[in-house]
C-alpha cells in the first residue's frame, strides 16, 4: 500500500472513530477499504467493558451541568473512544488534547 493511500485512509478512519452516531458502521466501511489482498497470520484484541450504568450516570451528571474532567494513562484514541462510549463526549464538543509528546 502506498503512503498516499494510507494517509487518506487514516484521515477517514480517525473521522469514523469520532463519529458518535454511526461509529461502528463508519469504522466497518474504513476496514473494508483497507482490508484487501492480505493474508492474516494472527490477531488478538482486548476490550475493556464499562461497568453497568456508567454511561447513564455520566449523562445524568452532565445534564446536571456538573463539570467533568478525565485524566487517563490510556492512548489518546482509546481515551476518546471510551469517552464516547460512556457518554462523556459527544459530537457537539470541542475536544482539546494535551499531549506532551505531540508538543515537542
Q: What is the pLDDT of residues 3-29, one digit of tens each?
A: 999 899 999 999 998 888 888 899 899
Residue ranges of E strands in 1-104: none
Rg of the Cα trace of the chain? 16
pTM (two decimals): 0.44
Alpha carbons 48 and 78: distance in angstroms, whole number: 10
Is pLDDT larger for residue 36 or for residue 11? Answer: 11
pLDDT at 12: 92
Mean pLDDT over 47-51 rounds to 71
For residue 73, give the C-alpha cell: 494513562
Q: Nine-digit cell at 10?
A: 487514516
As to burial, measured by CB atoms within 10 angstroms (0-12 exposed, 13-18 middle, 19+ buried), residue 89 is buried
Reading the block at residue 2, the C-alpha cell is 502506498
Mean pLDDT of 51-76: 80
Q: Specify the range with the lowest mean pLDDT, choosing from 16-25, 30-39, 71-80.
A: 71-80
Amino acid at each position: 500500500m502506498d503512503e498516499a493511500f494510507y494517509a487518506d485512509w487514516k484521515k477517514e478512519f480517525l473521522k469514523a472513530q469520532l463519529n458518535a452516531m454511526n461509529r461502528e458502521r463508519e469504522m466497518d466501511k474504513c476496514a473494508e477499504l483497507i482490508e484487501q489482498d492480505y493474508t492474516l497470520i494472527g490477531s488478538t484484541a482486548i476490550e475493556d467493558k464499562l461497568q453497568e450504568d456508567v454511561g447513564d450516570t455520566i449523562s445524568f451528571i452532565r445534564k446536571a451541568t456538573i463539570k467533568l474532567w478525565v485524566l487517563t494513562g490510556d492512548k489518546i484514541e482509546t481515551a476518546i473512544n471510551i469517552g464516547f462510549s460512556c457518554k462523556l463526549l459527544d459530537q457537539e464538543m470541542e475536544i482539546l488534547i494535551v499531549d506532551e509528546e505531540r508538543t515537542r
